[in-house]
């Protein structure tokens, strides 16, 4: 049995029928343990937490496929992926799971979403661990009008072509690696969950499951001052794990400025790439376990 299949066997598929649509997830089945909700990055999916899962058996771990990602439902035709809507997707998932409170774990976009959840609904969050993001991407106020015009024009003129057929999983992995720096093994885990058969029948190839609307330009980004105001509203103890070297959109200066806004925050910098939680789970998991303090103090 390969390492990947060993880690995958610790999780099982579940479906959550929420008021906003069907959300799929991977769960380790330990419902008697402290709840831990994991949120993945942009165009990733629940499989990004497969490498960490064997190291987090002390928790009731649920890793979501956010709407439009993995095997979850897409937004209804005519609707968009407004960033604040993710807050309600997360809270709806917690409600469907029967969780009044939970620990949050987010990577990249998932960490940005979790920041908003922790700020907007502090009564639902025990502790919050962020990997490679704290708050959403901010924008310059002077560019807001230009960005809005471009985003609206892109949507009004969009005509999505039939999806290109991908011959096999390795070709899909090559495509994923062309737009993101990660190990091939990590990319394969994410890609495998993001592929659907192109049509019925053998050897027909694959297409991406993820919603093409996720790649559209953002209408509005809040300013950095507004982002820091949101971070200040986070009440839960917060751990930020950041990679060294830092990505250009989350520089050490930006990271440290946001960290200074937290009431109870700790920063740990780890040498590695953006997907360090997948590539170094044996390093990241002990940091998470120590932070979440699984002694039973955090109960559902």
210 is catalytic: no
Q: Which of 138, 116, 134, 127 is nearest to 233 (CA)?
A: 116
Q: Whats the size of the chain, residue-wise?
A: 300
Whole-number Å distance between alpha carbons of 198 and 177: 21
What's the angle, vertex CA 19, arms to CA 197 and CA 10, rounded to 5? 55
Please say whether the beta carbons of 87 and 113 come within 8 A: yes
Q: Which residue has the tokens 């559209």?
A: 216
Interacting residues of 5 by C-beta distance below 8 A, sequence separation 6+: none
> What is the bridge-based pairing of β-strands 21-27 and 35-39?
unpaired
Whole-number Å distance between alpha carbons of 218 and 258: 22
Strand blocks (E) in the chain: 12-18, 21-27, 35-39, 60-64, 102-107, 125-131, 195-197, 206-208, 238-244, 265-271
Q: Which of 254, 3, 10 is nearest to 132 (CA)?
A: 254
Whole-number Å distance between alpha carbons of 284 and 188: 20
Please say whether the beta carbons of 194 and 126 come within 8 A: no
Out of 72, 108, 210, 298, pick the active-site residue.
108
Please say whether the beta carbons of 193 and 45 come within 8 A: yes
Which residues are known catalytic residues? 108
């Amino acid at each position: 049995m390969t390492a990947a299949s060993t880690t995958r066997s610790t999780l099982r598929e579940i479906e959550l029928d929420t008021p906003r649509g069907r959300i799929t997830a991977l769960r380790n089945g330990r419902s008697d343990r402290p709840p831990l909700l994991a949120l993945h990055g942009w165009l990733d999916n629940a499989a990004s937490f497969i490498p960490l899962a064997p190291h987090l058996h002390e928790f009731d771990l649920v890793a979501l496929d956010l709407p439009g990602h993995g095997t979850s439902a897409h937004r209804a035709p005519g609707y968009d992926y407004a960033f604040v809507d993710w807050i309600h997707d997360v809270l709806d998932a917690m409600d469907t799971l029967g969780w009044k409170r939970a620990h949050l774990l987010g990577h990249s976009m998932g960490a940005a979403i979790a920041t908003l959840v922790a700020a907007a609904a502090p009564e639902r969050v025990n502790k919050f661990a962020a990997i490679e993001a704290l708050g959403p991407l901010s924008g310059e106020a002077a560019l807001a009008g230009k960005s809005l015009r471009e985003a609206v024009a892109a949507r009004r003129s969009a005509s999505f072509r039939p999806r290109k057929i991908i011959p096999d999983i390795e070709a899909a992995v090559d495509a994923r690696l062309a737009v993101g720096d990660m190990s091939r093994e990590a990319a394969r885990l994410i890609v495998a969950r993001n592929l659907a058969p192109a049509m019925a029948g053998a050897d027909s190839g694959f297409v991406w499951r993820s919603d093409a609307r996720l790649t559209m330009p953002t209408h509005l980004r809040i300013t950095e001052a507004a982002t820091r105001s949101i971070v200040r509203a986070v009440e839960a103890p917060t751990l930020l794990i950041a990679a060294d070297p830092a990505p250009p959109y989350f520089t050490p200066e930006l990271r440290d400025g946001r960290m200074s806004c937290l009431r109870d925050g700790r920063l740990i910098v780890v040498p590695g790439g953006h997907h360090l939680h997948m590539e170094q789970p044996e390093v990241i998991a002990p940091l998470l376990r120590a932070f979440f303090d699984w002694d039973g103090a955090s109960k559902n």
